[in-house]
Amino acid sequence: MMNLTQLVLASHNAGKLKELQAMLGNAVQLRSIGEFSQVEPEETGLSFVENAILKARNAARISGLPALADDSGLAVDYLGGAPGIYSARYADGKGDAANNAKLLEALKDVPDSERGAQFVCVLALVRHADDPLPILCEGLWHGRILHAASGEHGFGYDPLFWVPERNVSSAELSPADKNQISHRARAMDLLRQRLSLK
Ligand SMILES: O=c1nc[nH]c2c1ncn2[C@H]1C[C@H](O)[C@@H](COP(=O)(O)OP(=O)(O)OP(=O)(O)O)O1
Ligand SMILES: [Mg+2]
C-alpha cells in the first residue's frame, strides 16, 4: 500500500474534517484542501460515488497529495430519497439552518411512522489525480426525522436526525459517540480495513 501518513481531505466542511481526523487518530494527518484552494468544485455527479471521486481527483490535482473525499447526505423515505446528493444545496445554498427549516416544512403533518431516513456517506481515496482505481467505502445510518431541532453538537442535519438506538438526536450525541456509530464511522471502518490501518 502507498505511504499514507499525509492525506488531503477534499472537503470544505469543518465538521467532516473534525470527525474524520478523530476517527483516523495520529497515524494519518489530514490536511484540509482549504490550505491549497478556496474554490469548491461543482458537484455534477448523479451519485454519492461520482461526487466523491470528482472531489477527490480535484483535491489531488490541486495539492499533489493523495486525497480523501467524503460525499454524504440525508435520504428521507417520505421524499423518495431526497434531498440525497443535493442535501447541501437543498435550500439553494442558504446553509444548514435553511436546509433544516425546508425539511421540517416538507414533512409537516407527516406521522412518525413515515419519517424514516438514512444518512449516507461515501468515502473515496485516490492516490493521485488520475488514479484508475479509487478506493470506495460506504456507510449508512438509519433514523427518523424529528418534528423540531434538538441538540447542539455536530453539523448539518444532526439536530433533526433521531437515533433510535440511543433515543436522542444525533446533535445530542457527544462527538465521540457519534463517531462510533454514524454513517461516516461505518465508511471509515471499511476504509481502515482496506488500508490495513488497524
Ligand atoms: O454527519 C452528518 N450530520 C449532519 N448532516 C450531515 C452529515 N453528513 C452529511 N450531512 C449533510 C450536510 C450537507 O447538507 C450534506 C453533505 O453534502 P456534501 O456535499 O457531501 O458536503 P459539503 O458540501 O458540506 O462539504 P464538501 O462537499 O466540501 O465535502 O449532508
Ligand atoms: Mg459539497
Domain-by-domain residue ranges, the chain?
A: 6-195
What pLDDT is recorded for position 27?
A: 85
What pLDDT is recorded for position 3?
A: 66
- 122 and 137 in contact (C-beta within 8 Å)? yes
- 57 and 125 in contact (C-beta within 8 Å)? no
What pLDDT is recorded for position 1?
A: 54
- 146 and 158 in contact (C-beta within 8 Å)? no
What pLDDT is recorded for position 197?
A: 86
What pLDDT is recorded for position 4?
A: 82
User: Does any ligand 1 atom lie closer than 6 A to the CB of residue 13?
Assistant: yes
16 annotated as ligand-binding: yes
User: Does any ligand 1 atom lie closer than 6 A to the CB of residue 32?
Assistant: no
Domain 6-195 has CATH 3.90.950.10: yes
Sheet arrangement for strand 67-76: 29-32, 6-9, 67-76, 116-126, 135-145, 161-163, 168-169
Q: Write out the DSSP string of 3-61.
A: --SEEEE----HHHHHHHHHHHTTSSEEEEGGGT--PPPP---SSHHHHHHHHHHHHHH
Single-letter amino acid code for the residue at 80: G
What pLDDT is recorded for position 32?
A: 97
How far is the centre of ligand 1, averaged over its atoms, from the C-alpha of 103 (Å)?
15
Q: Is the ipTM of this complex over 0.95?
A: yes
Grid coordinates standing for 104?
421540517
Task: Return the ligand 1 atom nearest residue 170 CA.
Answer: 3
Give 10-residue mean pLDDT values along the chain (198 residues).
Answer: 84 98 94 97 98 98 98 99 98 97 98 98 98 98 98 98 98 98 98 90
